[in-house]
Homo-oligomer: A and B are copies of this chain.
Amino acid sequence: MSDTYRRIALARRPEGAPRAEDFALKTDPLPALEDGHILVRTEWLSLDPYMRGRMDDAKSYAEPVALGGTITGQGVGTVLASKAEGFAEGDTVTGMTGWADHAVLPGTECRKLDPGTPPSAMLGVLGMPGFTGWRGLHEYGRPKAGETLVVGAATGPVGSMVGQLARLAGLRTIAIAGGAEKCRIATETFGFDAAIDHRAHDDARALRAAIAEAAPDGVDIYWENVGGKLLEAVLPLMNTHGRIPLCGAVAWYGGVDSDTDRLPMAWRSILVKRLSVNGFIIFDHWDHYPAFLRDVAPKVAAGEITYLEDVAEGLENAPEAFMAMLKGGNVGKQVVRI
């Protein structure tokens, strides 16, 4: 066993798309194996788009990688030495090894692979990406048989999980992918009902027309991990009460100018802050009106909830009052006495 290890360090923070000079291969002494830890020889390393975000020095949902630090990543490997309960030399485990051929990790943050699991599958279909698709689809997509699903980056490990789960649940599934070959894979390998090559469509309008043709009943779930042109194409095709699980924005990872384009700024906030944005129209909710009156009418009567009214006089003055209201000319609830 060598007493050094090799790792890929962040040499420079990328501007836009990463370049070779942003990375550096380093050889360093292996850290000591402390109690509760295991030494793992990494055999498989996962590469995932989220890592691009960690390379920026921006506040996000996780700490950025330090300059000179090892780039974050999940690996699968073999335990070479263990001082952690439940792990023994020779075990196959997964954990956050980073981009490194060895890692010393706390046993509590590692997981032994179930027998028969292909090691690399633990990084994809049975790992974080597959789990992302499964959890997000059930928790936020809420698929129902007969509905239509559109998935960006559909041949990727997240998108292909989402598409297959939705197909198994009886949805019509539409893949968006880059290039004819990925489209072929989407339908032939992953069983999507249709696949659309976003590169074959110059702008959101053209892409929208292609999606509309493949989704004659509109779109109920848009699995959003792309942003950009695709988001703009799909939004107007959404059906009422549609759901948009939002777990990535690859098109905007290279940085955007939020002064000139406010959509990415907003979308990034929803993602990074895990916001829940719910459009609603009260006319869908009238069945709850009696409950409202039971709750609030006594509070109004008791003065716990107060209200203001602006009263305009006469039907003929309704337009003027309405126009003033839209400009903020009123204070309370605007009514007209007729």
Q: A residues touching B (Cβ–Cβ < 8 Å)?
A: 6-8, 17-20, 22-23, 25, 42-49, 51-52, 61-62, 71, 75, 77, 99-101, 114, 116-117, 120-121, 123-126, 128-132, 134-136, 139-140, 155-157, 160-161, 164-165, 168, 178-179, 181-182, 185, 189-190, 224, 231-232, 235-236, 238-247, 250, 253, 261-263, 265-267, 269-285, 288-289, 292-293, 295-297, 299-301, 304-309, 311-312, 315-316, 318-323, 325-328, 331-338
Task: Please report the C-alpha to C-alpha distance between residue A337 and residue B336 in the assembled complex, in whole angstroms.
Answer: 73
| Shortest CB distance A176–B (Å) | 12
Which of A123, A164, A235, A305 has most chain B Cβ within 10 Å? A305
Q: A132-B282, A157-B307, A189-B308 are in contact. Are A315 and B100 (CB under 8 A)?
A: yes
Task: Please report the C-alpha to C-alpha distance between residue A168 and residue B281 in the assembled complex, in whole angstroms.
Answer: 24
Closest to A310 in B: B47
Residues on B with beta carbons closer than 8 Å to the beta carbon of A43: 337-338
| Shortest CB distance A297–B (Å) | 6
Q: How many copies does the complex hold?
A: 2
A322 touches B244 (CB 8 A): no
B244 touches A277 (CB 8 A): yes
Residues on B with beta carbons closer than 8 Å to the beta carbon of A250: 326
Q: Which 8 A-B pairs have the closest CB atoms?
A: A124-B333, A157-B333, A125-B307, A23-B319, A262-B263, A45-B336, A270-B279, A235-B269
B266 touches A266 (CB 8 A): yes
Residues on B with beta carbons closer than 8 Å to the beta carbon of A288: 131, 135
Task: Please report the C-alpha to C-alpha distance between residue A253 and residue B323 in the assembled complex, in whole angstroms.
Answer: 12
A275 touches B265 (CB 8 A): no
A155 touches B332 (CB 8 A): yes
A20 touches B319 (CB 8 A): yes
B271 touches A279 (CB 8 A): yes
Residues on B with beta carbons closer than 8 Å to the beta carbon of A312: 47
Chosen A-B contacts, 28 in total, with CB atoms closer than 8 Å, are A18-B319, A23-B319, A46-B333, A47-B321, A47-B334, A114-B293, A120-B309, A124-B309, A125-B300, A131-B292, A134-B296, A140-B276, A157-B307, A164-B306, A185-B308, A189-B306, A189-B308, A224-B277, A236-B269, A241-B275, A241-B276, A242-B273, A271-B281, A274-B279, A275-B277, A275-B279, A276-B276, A276-B277
Q: A126-B296, A131-B289 are in contact. Are A25 and B280 (CB under 8 A)?
A: no
| Shortest CB distance A74–B (Å) | 10
A6 touches B140 (CB 8 A): no
Residues on B with beta carbons closer than 8 Å to the beta carbon of A131: 282, 285, 288-289, 292
Task: Please report the C-alpha to C-alpha distance between residue A62 and residue B94 in the assembled complex, in whole angstroms.
Answer: 53
Task: Please report the C-alpha to C-alpha distance between residue A169 and residue B243 in the assembled complex, in whole angstroms.
Answer: 29
